[in-house]
Chains A and B, each alone.
Chain A
């Protein structure tokens, strides 16, 4: 298994879970609204997380600069265009999809 190459092209590789701290932004963009998104018994205010991710994205996404560079794939990212995805599942519905 070649799951954990030590370096690539001489670049320092960030390896989550293997000691080297991963960039917080990389972790947050995955753990906050990717993976299995279902409601637990504890109804945390998902709105709080939603606001937080929007706030992070305002910081994270440098929209004008990206457009200026002709980079706009991410505009088609459904996570941006439909923020409510997955957050409306009721407890027990238990779908890893969000239809």
Chain B
């Protein structure tokens, strides 16, 4: 450890869960090898990073630079994801949790060991799945003979006819109600399969690059062995979605980011 280096912490796991091969070929946000700092039965997974990029000033600037933030965020997520795939449970650290040396890392493990142990027990063998639901494009104002310019489904069934303004509004309202119910049904079905659920604010397509309007953005904590059940139900909901004007998108499995805090949804 030189004064020019700092320790970037990615995650916490049980020391006993680590195998010699767990960290092989795993590189971190600065291309550095990831290694374990064990203490009191726990281990922090860390990497040596240049102080020039990760000290106070550099981080403060870096967080304001979306392209640098993106690089660090993706690097961090990649390490957490690989650890999560290799181990039954890891607790991901928040982005950019940085220590001066191993003493600082061990102090952190000692101070938090009760809470970390409890969270590792609670989340053992669980992963997080992300499900986002998008409203398909609403029918636009009909123009001339082209009819309703929308997706096939409840609204586009009689394209070609020019509905009155009142009829148009009536259909629009009905479609909106159908979507609202559809979204509630989807969330209800998935929450029923999950141990816990957490709903995030909707995403804007400018950041996510997704088409359609995001109307549900949720995370579900699911036992690994039930992952197949969960994803096949998501698949069924995704197939049925367009009938209610909805598109369903699945991400994951993620490390249980959203469920590390026990009171995360209360």
Q: Which residues from chain A sit less than 8 Å from chain B, CB to CB? A: 1-5, 8-11, 13-18, 21-45, 48-49, 52, 56-57, 59-62, 65-66, 68-71, 73-74, 76-80, 86, 92-99
Contact = CB atoms under 8 A, between A and B. Distances in A.
Given A16-B252, A26-B208, A36-B93, 10 more contacts: A11-B235, A17-B77, A17-B78, A24-B207, A34-B260, A35-B257, A40-B98, A41-B6, A42-B98, A62-B214
Given A3-B127, A13-B250, A98-B261, A31 B94 contact: yes
A73 B235 contact: no
A16 B77 contact: yes
A1 B27 CA distance: 25
Contacts of A96: 91, 112, 115-116, 119, 260-261
Interface residues of B, number: 99
Nearest to A39: B97
Contacts of B239: 9-10
Contacts of B130: 26
A94 B234 contact: no
A97 B253 contact: no
Contacts of A3: 85, 127, 224, 227, 253
Nearest to B241: A9
Contacts of A52: 63-64, 69
B251 A16 contact: yes
B249 A35 contact: no
B263 A25 contact: no
Nearest to A95: B115
A14 B92 contact: no
B74 interface: yes
Interface of B: 6, 9, 12, 54-56, 59-60, 63-64, 69-70, 73-74, 76-78, 80-82, 84-85, 91-101, 104, 107-113, 115-116, 119, 127, 130, 135, 176-177, 179-180, 183, 187, 198-204, 206-210, 213-217, 224-225, 227-228, 231-232, 234-239, 248-255, 257-258, 260-266
Given A2-B228, A16-B252, A71 B183 contact: yes
Q: Is the interface of A mostly helix, strand, loop or mixed?
A: loop
A99 B263 contact: yes
A44 B56 contact: yes
B238 A9 contact: yes
B112 A38 contact: yes
A25 B227 contact: no
Given A31-B77, A35-B91, A41-B100, A97 B201 contact: no
A94 B207 contact: no
Contacts of B249: 11, 14
Contact of A77 (B112, B201, B238): B201
